[in-house]
Amino acid sequence: MNALLDFVVRVVGDVGRLGGVFVEQVLTNGDPISIAVFVVGQLFMVGAIAALGYAALGALLSEIGVDLPALGAGAAE
């Protein structure tokens, strides 16, 4: 359990460092392609984390009887 807590603390800390990396290394470079690649990569990461979080939250809530709306093509029942 300690390893899981260390992992979560490290991930949250790295999110804070990401802003500094963006300002110091990407924006100061001045290359618009680097900025676009960085931003698109972050959008992919946020989308993946949001999807996984929604699935995990739905699994946890379904255990206590609360159903979240289903997303996607298989949602129609």
Residues above pLDDT 70, as percent of the chain: 91
Q: 45-56: per-residue pLDDT in tens?
A: 889 988 888 888
pLDDT in the model for residue 77? 52
Residue 35 to residue 32: CA distance in whole angstroms: 5
What mean pLDDT, rounded, does the chain reach? 82
pLDDT, tens only, 29-45:
778 898 888 889 889 98
Residue type, 6: D
d(CA 30, CA 58): 42
Q: Which of 52, 54, 45 is nearest to 18 (CA)?
A: 45
Q: Average pLDDT, stretch 13-31?
A: 81
- Note whether 61 and 68 are within 8 A (CB): yes
